[in-house]
Amino acid sequence: MLQFDTLIIGSGLAGLSLALKLAPHQKVGLITKKSILDGASGQAQGGIAAVLSEDDSLDAHIQDTLIAGAGLCDEVATRQVVSHGKEAIDWLIDQGVPFTRDEADGQSYHLTREGGHSHRRIIHAADATGHAVQETLAEKVFNHPNVTVLERYISVDLITGQKLGRANNRCYGAYALSCATGKVVTIAAHDTVLATGGAGKVYLYSTNPDTATGDGIAMGWRAGCRVANMEFIQFHPTCLYHPHERSFLISEAVRGEGGLLKLPNGARFMPDHDQRAELAPRDIVARAIDFEMKKRGLECVYLDISHQPAEFLQMHFPTIYARCLKLGIDITRDPIPVVPAAHYTCGGLVTDLTGRTDVAGLYAIGETAHTGLHGANRLASNSLLECLVFAQAAATSILSQPKLPHLTLPEWDESKVTDADEEIVITHNWAELRRFMWDYVGIVRTNKRLQRAASRIKLLHEEINEYYANFRISSDLLELRNLVLSADLIVQSAQQRHESRGLHYSKDYPQTLPDASHTILTPPNYNKG
């Protein structure tokens, strides 16, 4: 049995930041499904939103966030995150993150603007901010003597008092499958933190990495945590449309720097949908693109920034420029074919302002959590800021708690299972799930579509639970199990919202209700004391 003071599940910005903040004070274990640099944080292009210029203000950033959130942002959580923005950026700079300097003076940092923001406040490292941040922090985590990194380990489930037959339902650690050996290890921890990201891979088309399978949300639900607002799945308006690129994101900053959305004939369409045109929030832009594609029978629309100088584009968007050029698209001359794709899970496990969930000893931070910041639609580049601020809040909470003695936890029991006979069941169910979620629970929804999805999810649940009970587990089975549960929570939440708000648009309920309310689902084993 492995033992740590804190076990962190996930190696995105939330997990790495927390590990570095805890490591000077205690022993930390960090497990990640692939390598430490795999995950959604490393793919973030645009940057991190924070109030860093004199002509900006905390109130302006808060107001922009509240407007994007369509009435469902928690104002206390929003102020907490925004007010700690500069502190979080200063910490990253101290760690050595190479943010892009302003060309004018070479000293201050260049700030860009993105959809929904009233000011330039996005600090970035060219167009590969996430990669720069993750590389910098990962090196420090790997080299810290108090941090043990376990790569290619996927969590099976949390170990709770309820599962151990104890009176309390505290979390005591987790079981994790080594993808290298196929063996399940038992990991005991005083505190366990879910930082596994979102559930984007529940959809056929997604900007998310393959690791985004809703693991933390599903494990937290099974452990007895409530989830909130799972119907709000953000579809990024501009994912590259190309047969050889399934999930390459074209950053929001391209539109922030003057990129225009056009039909195949070169005509703009965003001014017809919103007075903010290309700089409208993501939900509005994604729905507009979806509307134009369906109305005209298009496979994609086009994002054109070729009117900007070539040197400007090569300097500000080197990653996008190089990737597109490799595919035969010269963004200095050609428009970029784009389509919306599932991008961010705005809902998640209910937490307080320190990241604590309903289960004692269990925290959730980053995209896995519902903190109240994002409301019904996430404002661009607020996600990495949330990771940083809540990593600090969770660290402060964890370090303030008295340490309990470790329990001797039972080993994983495989005595009643056998090797799988037909793994085609997993691949078939995976493909079916992602296809019907895209068709029935996408950008525009109806009651009938949601009911169709719910019926299919019920059948998949039964097949997967039978498979899980009788055969040895694999990473593919664990991910599918978590994806189906995440899909179920999304559909249940969508069925409960009888209005259109933010990222949830229903043709049966096109109006927005005067009072905004959260969708909170409670698991059968919930026993908050």
C-alpha separations of 158 from 9, 223, 401 in Å: 10, 7, 20
Of residues 129, 75, 185, 161, the one with CA closest to residue 404: 161
DSSP states of 69-102 as a string?
TTT---HHHHHHHHHTHHHHHHHHHHHT--PPBP
Long-range contacts made by residues 446-449, C-beta under 8 angstroms, separation at least 24? Answer: 446/506, 446/507, 446/508, 447/495, 447/506, 447/508
Which tokens go with 133?
A: 């941040």
Q: Is the dihedral of CA 380, 383, 384, 389 positive or negative?
A: positive
User: Is residue 31 exposed (0-12), middle (13-18) or buried (19+ Cβ within 10 Å)?
Assistant: buried
User: Residue 361 — φ and ψ, nearest 5°?
Assistant: 80, 5
DSSP 8-class letter at 271:
G
For the chain, give the number of residues: 529
C-alpha separations of 505 from 263, 315, 348, 377 in Å: 23, 38, 19, 12
Among 282, 287, 378, 449, which one carries the catalytic annotation?
Answer: 282
Which residues, in sequence order, are bridge partners of residue 137? none
- Pairwise CA distance, residues 265 & 390, whole Å: 46
Cα 179 to chain centroid, rounded: 23
Which residues, in sequence order, are bridge partners of residue 239? 249, 339
User: Is residue 441 exposed (0-12), middle (13-18) or buried (19+ Cβ within 10 Å)?
Assistant: buried
State the amino acid at position 63 in one-letter form.
Answer: Q
Which tokens go with 83?
A: 């007010």
Cα 42 to chain centroid, rounded: 12
456 is catalytic: no
User: What are the residue numbers of the active site?
Assistant: 282
